[in-house]
Amino acid sequence: MQKFENFLLENLPMSKSIHPTYEKALHQMLIAGGKRFRPALLLGVVNSYNALLEEGAMHAALAIELLHTYSLIHDDLPAMDDSPLRRGKPTLHMSFDEVTAILVGDALNTYSFEVLSNAPFSDYTRIQLIRELATNGGLNGMVLGQAMDCYFENKPLSIEDVRVLHTNKTAKLIAASLKMGAIIVGREELGEKLYDFGIKLGLLFQIQDDILDVTQSSEEAGKLTNNDEDKNSFVTLLGLPQTIDEANILANELHNELETFDDNLKKELSELLTKYINRHK
C-alpha cells in the first residue's frame, strides 16, 4: 500500500486560510495511518483485472479513506463516543477543540467527493462511483448506523437489530469499496457479488472489533477500549464466548466464498482478507 500512502500525502487537503491550525488539523488523522483496509480492497479488485487503471483508482481509494476518516473523527466526539485516542494518537477534539474536530470531519466528507469527481474516468463511471459512496456512506448507510448506535445506547436491541445497525454503520462502506473496484474495471455483475461478500466481511469486521474491545488494551488497539458497555455490541448481548463462535462461523463462510472467486481476484485479495478474517483469533 506504499503507492496509496504516497498518493494520499500528495493529495492532502490544502487550505488557503489565515487560520493557524486548520490545515494541521485536516491532516492529523489522515497521516496518523490506520489499516487502509477499504482502499486496499478497492485497489485489490482493480489490480486483479486491469493494473493499468490503478493510478486512476487511487482517486476512488482516497475518497473512501477520506470519508472513513471523517466518520472516525465524528464518532470520537464528546457527543458520541467521547474517545481520547484514535490510530494511536490523541483525537482531534483533544488535540485542538470540539469545533475544529466537527469542521474537519465536515471538510473531509465533502473533500472525498471533490477527489472522486476529479478521477480520470468517464462521466458515467464517476457518477456511478459517487452514487455508490454517497449511498453507502450517507443517510441510508453509515450515518444511519451511527444514528441507531447513538440513539439505542442503554436501550438493548435484539441481535437481529444489532446486525442491521452494524450492516449500516460498518459493513456498507466496506462492501462499497469492493463494488467500486468492480465498477472501475467495468464488471458490474461482479460488483453485486462482491457487495454481498463485503456486507458479510463488514459484519465480521464489527464483531471482531467488539471482541478486541474487551480483549485488547487501548495501547494495543490504538483507540480507547472497554468502552462499549452501554452500546449494543455483540459481546454485550451474546457474551464473549458466543461472539467468538459467531466470528468463527462468519470467517469460515468468507473463506469458502473466497475460494469461489476467479484465480486473479483470489490471488490479489487472499493475503489481505486472510489477515483480517482471522484477526480475532
Q: Is the pLDDT of residue 228 over 70?
A: no
pLDDT band at 220 (very low <50, low <70, confident <90, very high): low
What rounded mean pLDDT belongs to the chain? Answer: 94
Query: Are the C-beta atoms of residues 88 and 32 closer than 8 Å to each other?
Result: yes
Express each pLDDT in 105-130 by its tens digit: 999 999 999 999 999 999 999 999 99
Which domains can be identified in the chain, with CATH numbers?
Answer: 2-277 (1.10.600.10)
- Give the residue-averaged pLDDT of 32-40: 94
Q: In this predicted model, what pLDDT tens digit does every residue of 165-201 receive, in sequence order?
A: 999 999 999 999 999 999 999 998 999 999 999 999 9
Question: How would residue 207 be classed by pLDDT, with cut points 50, 70 and 90?
Answer: very high
- Output the CA–CA distances (angstroms, integers) from residue 134 to 110, 118, 235, 270, in the order listed: 10, 16, 30, 28
Mean predicted confidence (pLDDT) in 33-45:
96
Of 61-75, 208-222, 240-254, where does mean pLDDT reach its minimum?
208-222
Among the residues of 14-122, which ranges form H helices?
22-31, 37-49, 54-75, 92-95, 98-117
Q: Is the pLDDT of residue 221 over 80?
A: no
User: Strands 89-90 and 85-86: what pairing?
Assistant: antiparallel
pLDDT given for residue 279 in this prediction: 84
- The whole-number pLDDT of residue 193 equals 97
Task: Quote the pTM value.
Answer: 0.94
- CA-CA-CA-CA torsion for 267, 272, 274, 279, nearest 10 degrees? 180
Q: What pLDDT shows up at residue 227?
A: 67
pLDDT of 222 > 80? The answer is no
211 and 245 in contact (C-beta within 8 Å)? Answer: no
pLDDT in tens, 17-29: 899 999 999 999 9
